Amino acid sequence: MSQLVTIFGGSGFIGRYIARRLAKQGWRIRVAVRNPNEAMFVRPYGAVGQVEPVFCNIRDDASVEAVMNGADVVVNCVGLLAEAGKNTFESVQIEGAERIARLAAKHGVARMVQISAIGADPDSPSEYARTKAAGEAAVQEHMKDTVILRPSIVFGPEDEFFNRFGSMARLGPVLPVVGAETRFQPVYVDDVAAAAALAVEGNVPAGVYELGGPDVHTFRELMHLMLDVIRRRRLIVNIPFFAARIMAAVFGAGQFLSFGLVKAPISKDQVINLGINNVVSEDAQGFAALGIKPAAMEAILPDYLWRFRPSGQYNEIKESAKNLRNT
């Protein structure tokens, strides 16, 4: 019988790519999620019954233990960009990660892969980064041979970065950003999945790996790159950090007063993170240590950002027609 892996958060942005890769490699996969009915799209990744979404609440021992029973490897992809209700940074990124690792050790699970993030630091001014670091430490306490992957900002067809700003670029002549000069090293989601799959197979030594793409850009440069891809001209306006903090406080109050019905577009903690460079450390292990050559953004972005072009899927046809008239 083929081996079994439980992927916590396996229907999320990164998790689904890990599930797809492992299914192709013959693994049986449990995709542990809060809403299995919304994760049925993962089932066709493999043969009938090979990939199954199952209910799990990582804030509960019994729930985590149930989906871990019989697993050979576990992968934790669960994380938060902003807190909502009971899903706080502490409950998910520290306590949830610790619970998975503790129960994995109890059940004799062979390996664990933890998806973290570049910038995880116990001394960071950002609660997101501090809890990421605390989650890593909790995991390593119980599963000493864990492989921890720290990607920079992740891009791909379902991302919440380029898709979000591409959508904003359709609405008006101005594109506002916070932290225009902050540096990022965007990494393609399937490259992160490839690294995770190697770790699941046991082909990666335990430790921390920081994953960044081949290029480093400022936030402003990334927006210019995106605008070039979607064929739009917009004025990129940098919102000063003091103004962004005020905006985040107002948005946060609105979300609180509406009982979460109105989602804040940016939080105070995200403003803090946008002031911190998000690139691979000089002394860190990365893709080179894994034998993976990461994809460049220029090769991937046109494949899914075309829908934000003025004429969408017909933009290339219109440009070709212009060339015909000029000949």
pLDDT digits (tens, 9 = 90+) for 229-252: 999 999 999 999 999 999 999 988
Nearest residue to 209 (alpha-carbon basis) of 278, 284, 101: 284
Q: Is residue 217 part of a domain?
A: no
Q: Give mean pLDDT, residues 307-323.
A: 69
CATH number for the domain spanning 24: value is 3.40.50.720
CB 42, CB 17: distance < 8 Å: no
Rounded Cα distance, 211 and 149, in Å: 7
| Residue 266 forms part of a structural domain | no
166 belongs to a structural domain = no
Query: Whole-angstrom distance between the N-terminal and C-terminal Cα of the chain?
Result: 63
CA angle 320, 322, 325 (to 5 degrees): 115
Would 133 be classed as within a structural domain?
yes
**Mean pLDDT, rounded, of the chain:** 93
Domain contains 301: no
SS3 category, 4: strand
Closest listed residue to residue 92, CA positions, set 65, 60, 54, 121: 60
Give the highest mean pLDDT range of 33-42, 75-84, 249-258, 312-321. 33-42
- The angle at the Cα of 285, spanning 73 to 137, to the nearest 5 degrees, equals 55
- Express as a percent the part of the chain with pLDDT over 90: 87
β-pairing, 183-184 with 187-188? unpaired
In a domain, 273, yes or no: no
Residue 327, pLDDT > 70, answer no
Number of structural domains the chain divides into: 1
pTM of the model as a whole = 0.93
Does the pLDDT value for residue 138 go beyond 90? yes
Task: Look up the domain containing 80 and give its range.
Answer: 4-155+186-212+279-294
Identify whether 54 is part of a domain. yes
Q: How far apart are CA 199 and CA 155, in angstroms?
A: 21
